[in-house]
Structure 1
Amino acid sequence: MARDGGIVVYRIHFTADDLARTRVSEGPRPMLELANAVRVLQDRSQSVRYEVWRRRARARLPPQARLALGLIPPRGWTPDFLARGQAGSPQELLEQIRSTPPQEIRQTLAGLARRQPLPSWSRQLADDPRVLQQLADSMQVLHATVLGPYWPCVTTSLAADRAVRMREMLDGGVERLLTGLYPPRVRWRSPTLEIAMASGIEGDLRLMGRGLLLVPSLFGSQAPVIDPDAEPQPFLTYPANYGALSTPLTPFSEVSVSRTASAALIALLGRTRAAVLHAIAAHPGCNTAELAGVLGIGPSGASQHATVLRQAGLITTLRHRNNAVHTPTSAGLNLLLHGT
């Protein structure tokens, strides 16, 4: 069962083999991100940075979506079969929920019932296929309402975070990567990673040579999630873009990407600025000095062009130590692909 985080120390023990096999997720985990978003939706103590998104999402939330809320509490445990840390399209993962074996449902809910109250209707999940289908439908509506409209922003934010983490790996290896994950709640004390857990859970996880999958999450802003039983390796979520130059939720609005791109075209008519966007797309995660070197221009000029592109929503800039690190957004990539 996935665990959301906070105050009590949970320890993950690494061997040399574990360090060698630890990696950063290559893309978002849709159902895990949805579970995190649903927690934030229900927990008003979360950061005010989510307030506009929360208000709009709650206003659009249809009654059908509320069924799943009973199994995704703002704090506590979420059933594995609803929040698997797998890659794939939302449609594929929703189909996996619909086909969850009854025995898995019984075992998972029995474990959950020992830790927290469950809605009365959940007792029918393993025995009545119609209830499972209703739950999957509720998850589908939740995704379409809460996460789907913002998915390009989620993927852009996570790609930017991955670029920074890869630079950490290149500069200082896995230990530097683990040290910089999320200092307020995650601490590396070789050979152990300590996570502060608010859920009251403490314990020890020995990776046994499997390594750890690190999963950035846009909505996991305050609470790391651990799944020690995930296959092929356990995973840990952490807040994406911690210490970012710009707030990751800034693009969360009703303004369409195409409208933003059209406004940005005025600024992109110049040859040099178009070359800057092409260079960032070709070298995601480059810093300003590297960008200037690729283009053969001065660092101040590269910085100015990057600022315009960032303000137009075509790139994302994060702070990595003393460098500004640039990655393209989905709008910037679409602009390059379609030329409009």
Structure 2
Amino acid sequence: MVYRIHFTAEDLARTRVAAAPLPSVELDIAVRMVQERSHPVRFGAWRQQALRRLRPQARMILDLISPRGASPDFLGATQTDSPEEFLQQVRSTPSSRVQRDLARIAERRALPAWVRRLADDEELLEQLWDTWEHVYEQLLGSYWPHIVERVAAERAARMRDVLEGGIARLFAGLNPQRIRWEAPVLHITMASGLDADLRLEGRGLLLVPSVFGCESPVVNPDAQPQPMLTYPADGDQRPLLLTATLHASTSHNPAASLATLLGRTRAAVLVAIAERPGCTTRELATTVGVAPASASEHATVLRTAGLIDTMRLKNMALHSPTSTGLALLDSGTD
């Protein structure tokens, strides 16, 4: 029993690997994972910490996203790689869309009684959005820079596969236990045992490396602008262990000591540029977890202050630290 994705030449030409992790994908899988006991070495410390930090209201989200089965589309119907944009898009979901998606889920499994009040209770709906953001912060927020770094390394490995062996090698390295390429069809063994066919019809496929999706592939045939498929963001690397130590290293990064001077987000932007000289504005936004417009604004302030330089290459802005910026970071870690 396999899920089959059919490719044309046009589909292969448009198939790509996501430039960064997708918050919608990682959070959906993380909510499921926190309710399980699987992968205790890899996720055990993260799971214990998350369960301690989650407020009782988080039960709202756990009720909507169960360990198995479909979750409401409005909680993940976006392919933006900015956590800030993702959370804003979810919060702006029309109540009619919320009602329609929950009705679809209710056809498959029982939902708590409070769900029926969402369409008419604005205060309850606002509580749901606040809780969604709280769940993101506790499950992913502190780990996000590490997840971004892991996915960047994984993407580079997959691009090397394409250069050296073409699309066939790319597909072969995604998830050998569950994904098999027999041109022109990609065969996927789903955890659910789903047997179905997806014809891409010229749209191509978005391949999404996932830290939390370390085992079973997830296919979203309705994603826009193109269907997507997740695969483990491990490649040839050792698994990223989400430990308490990893969490602490994020909480005590150099940006923290500069926050009083520059502000928390702007300090994080300066650190990100120093660690990734020549990064684009979008890469910067993804690393820090802000919208591209916000990243551009912070970069402008840092450039005016003489802490970074920006070079234009076609339609891209490439940011690098100046000696003054590096000196300021060095003083912040003393």
Q: Same fold (TM over 0.5)?
A: yes
Name the structure 1 match of 2:191: 198
Name the structure 2 match of 1:248: 240
Name the structure 1 match of 2:121: 128
Aligned partner (choices 30, 37, 41) of residue 44 of structure 1:
37
Aligned partner (choices 86, 95, 100) of residue 88 of structure 2:
95
Name the structure 2 match of 1:308: none
Name the structure 2 match of 1:231: 224
Count of paired positions: 267
Alpha carbons of structure 1 residues 336 and 162: separation in structure 2 relative to 1, 3 Å: farther
Name the structure 2 match of 1:159: 152
Q: Which runs of 5+ in 1 are unaligned?
A: 1-7, 262-279, 285-333
After TM superposition, give the deviation of residue 179 of structure 1 in Å.
1.4
After TM superposition, give the deviation of residue 161 of structure 1 in Å.
0.7
Q: 2:135 and 2:173 mapped to 1: Cα distance?
A: 32
Name the structure 1 match of 2:18: 25
Alpha carbons of structure 1 residues 336 and 283: separation in structure 2 relative to 1, 3 Å: farther
Alpha carbons of structure 1 residues 67 and 163: separation in structure 2 relative to 1, 3 Å: same
Contact 2:204 2:226 in 1 (8 A): yes
Name the structure 2 match of 1:293: none
Scaled by the length of structure 1, the TM-score of the pair is: 0.71
Mean Cα displacement is larger for which, 165-174 or 94-103?
94-103
Q: Secondary structure of the equivalent of 1:197?
A: coil
Q: 2:182 and 2:85 mapped to 1: Cα distance?
A: 38
Identity between Structure 1 and Structure 2 (%):
51
Alpha carbons of structure 1 residues 338 and 122: separation in structure 2 relative to 1, 3 Å: same
Alpha carbons of structure 1 residues 127 and 189: separation in structure 2 relative to 1, 3 Å: farther
Q: 1:178 and 1:337 mapped to 2: Cα distance?
A: 44
The one-letter code sitting in structure 2 at the alignment partner of 1:182 is N
After TM superposition, give the deviation of residue 200 of structure 1 in Å.
3.7
Contact 2:36 2:67 in 1 (8 A): yes
Q: Which runs of 5+ in 2 are unaligned?
A: 255-274, 280-324
Q: 1:227 and 1:165 mapped to 2: Cα distance?
A: 21
- CA deviation digits over 1:244-281, x for unaligned, max 9? 2x3312665243248688xxxxxxxxxxxxxxxxxx96
Q: 1:258 and 1:29 mapped to 2: Cα distance?
A: 22
Mean Cα displacement is larger for which, 186-195 or 18-27?
186-195
Alpha carbons of structure 1 residues 160 and 62: separation in structure 2 relative to 1, 3 Å: same
Q: 1:47 and 1:169 mapped to 2: Cα distance?
A: 33
Contact 2:143 2:250 in 1 (8 A): no
